[in-house]
Structure 1
Amino acid sequence: MSSSKNLSVRQRWLLLGAIALILIGAGYWWYTQLEWEEKEVDLGYSKEAIQNDFLAAEIFLRKHGIQATTVKNLSLLDKHSWRNIQLGAQDTIVIVNGYKTLSEDRYDSLYEWVEGGGTLITSTQNPFVGTHTSEEDVLLSDFNIELAPEEKDEDDRDALERLADDLEEAVDGKSKPDDEEDSDDETTDSNDNRDETKESSANKTNSDSADKVEKTTDTTKSKNKKNKKKAEEEKPENYYRCSMAEPPVEITFAGEEKPLAFDFSNSRQFIYYDYAEPDEEQDSDTPEDETSSEQDENPATETPEEDGSFRESLEAAVASGESSDNENYQYRGKHENLLYFDIGDGSITITSDNHIWANHRIDCHDHAYGLWRLVNPEGRVWFLVNQDAPSLATIIWRNASYGVLAALLALVLWLWAKSLRFGPVLVIEQTGRRSLAEHIYASAMLLWRKQEHPQLLGLLRKEILDRLDDQHPNLAQATQDERALFLQELAGINAADIQKALYSIALRHPQDFAAAIAHLQTIRKQLHGSKL
């Protein structure tokens, strides 16, 4: 018995050991065959980046030793300070959405600050204002700049009509090859009927060539699919964010070997009217090939340099009295995305879109490097984000003025219909059935108003005296005083009140009449009780 027990224990240990060895071997094999892969998961912008659209630009400038601050209003332009931080003479102001936000006083103080060494970077964008207002931007008009008109789509068809036309074109494109194949089959059939001997030999060669063509087409299709997949896989992360499909705008900067690339595809160009001589206009009438080559050498977006504003230069020219020379000068409009002006010791840069330095676009092309070239590294950079949007009432009136007028007219008509024109409206109250006491009270009041109330007293007095004579015959020959004394003992009422209630005629006051009725009712009840 002991040997059999020992064998069973040994078998159990061997089984457990074998299971442990199998598990260890499987774990080792899994660990050696396991391939570790590292993947980057985009968790989106941080809370700070969501609240500050120019946080990436601030971090970029701080890494290069330039202090940067974002302010979500334009109070710095009025006070020249923000949270006890003064606006320095060498600072840089980047106004975002600043189109049509500068008043005359604000622009004059800002212009003086620029002449003293400040740097201003503004744009022709403002989604809160747009081009619908008749106001003019003081800064742009001073530099003779205006927004280019919006490009209208020549195709006036609706989206559904366009989709239907595209589907028809696609169907026609598929049906045309089928028709061509049918025509080819018909021609081959006619040729077969003409010469059967040539057909047998030609069929062999045609079948071989057709097989080769099918193989080549299949290989080209497969190659094209593979190339498309590779192209989609090889697209960078910022391909759509930076509009890589469109060519960037190249702008020449002084001291740079190559022009810097910027993505202004999300904005419209502005028109800069240059005061040019007639010779320059004749040069602009050259063929397109020559103009394109000249633009490559000296791009139209190259930054012009001026000692003052365009308006001041014109005023100085007119004041000099050179009228004959001025007649030879004419305006010439240029479509630009970025212009640079030297103003005194400072500078003003005008762009068509300052959002190229936002968090989601600053890493595109040469945006970050272009910002570093435009700012003054000796001062602080201020990003002033305009958030002064029009009120809701202004937006509603701008977009639905006729609807607002119709609603106001309807309100006036409703108030007129509900108003009181000839006094209050008579309302007839619906009351229930009246009680018997109300009828009695109404009849009594009628008798009182007609001075017929003694009739009520007479009936009650007669009833009491008759009952008194029936119950007490010995009082039939009694006087009024004797009867009053008897009733006083019976009812507990003063004899004078009893005599007044039974025999008095001068009851002119309502209180006296009510008191007499009450006394008579009491006496009647007592006489009725004594009879029982």
Structure 2
Amino acid sequence: MNDNLKSFLSVLALVVLGALGTWWWYDNMELRWQSRRHLSEAAMKDRMLAATLLLRRNGRVVDGTGSLGELVLPKVAGGTMILSGASGTALPGQAQEMLDWVRRGNTLIAEPRSLTSAEKAALAALEPASDDEKDDEDDDEADATDKPASVLASAPGKAEARKEDKDEDEDEDLPPGKPAPASSFAAAADGDPLTDRYGARVRRDAKACRCRTQPAEADKDKPEAIAAARRERDKTVSRLTLPGKTYALELDGDMEELVSLPGAAAPLWSDDDGGAVRVYREGKGQVVLLTTDYFNNYQLDERDHGELLLALTDLAPGRHVTIVRNLNVLPWYKALWRHYSLFLVSLAVGLALMFWAAVRRFGPIVPAPKAERRSLLEHIDASGAWLWKADGGRQVLLDAARDDTLALIRRRAPALFRMPESQLWAMLARDCALLEADVIEALEQDAASHVTRFTRQIRTLQELRNHYER
């Protein structure tokens, strides 16, 4: 090997080593943004926050309420109402009010409740067995003929296990193999008065459950496993072609489907198999039944659920959307006020009156005074009232006040009484700033029979007394 070749190989090795080092550095040491699913605190409190923002961004006016019980349905604005997660909780009166609201040309979006065990048994008796179930039964019979008696002894337990897998959420209230009577549908109808008129229910889709098989952990990143998972997921997709549209919306089939009870109403239009969306005519408006809540924060961004929401809110001419977020449950204080407001107002008024009466008598009660210890003023007041009514009583009162006043003036100003009476009365009126006529009336004339004049006489005497007492 010559020197040129050695130099070339050395340079090539350095280039490869530098390229590998550069790749390792950028692969392990470089910072990259990674997307992570995160729910804000507002989204955790409001499961319909994403739908609210989407509708408002597209020109809808959105109002939300905590529960159906808080709505005053006759006053709800026209447009669209979404009952989110409130399937089967409407009371008969509320259901009738909602249907009346829909008949005026509005749209109601709701979810029917799930099948009961009686309804499942009745539907199982009416529907023929599917090909898969027949194959399972044939396989069971073939296995039973080939296995020994010791294995056959455990067959009933395995059959029961297969039955539970087939319908794992079915109750065991009815005897096995005995279908429910027809009256069971009427008994179950009490639980969902809103959607009973359409005969629609929700049940678990066994086919969708079997399609959701997960690949092994080691193979989940392989292209073949990803393609197989996509094909299995596509089997559960529901396709809906809206009226007047040429393309179909893809909806997540999930693991539930809409089924019809005997005598169910035919929908106005629905998805391809009627298992995801059904629309019924109700007066001038429409009632939309969904198999699940496609519009919550977790499912709105799946497939074409957002476009479905906008399309359904376009069915009604109004742009107003009312979202009911929770079940038909009122807080205790709101329910108490709604049903017993008159009683509460009466109770509050009664308590206020009792409090007012108690405040007026706040503190210990003062003992009543004893009758034998009456004050001197009461005696004087009673004597004056009696003399006022008695014959000559007024003159007695006036003479007593007059004599007392003249005696006081004689003690304080004896020189005045050396004057004649006419000059004396004029001097007293001047010194006390009184009218001479009032002084003469008080000191010379008889007691007046009129209350006003008698009071003036006594007042004049009192003013003379007050002047010479200083």
TM over 0.5: no
The structure whose Rg is larger is 1
TM range (shorter): 0.3 to 0.5
Compute the TM-score of the two structures, normalised by the length of structure 2: 0.40
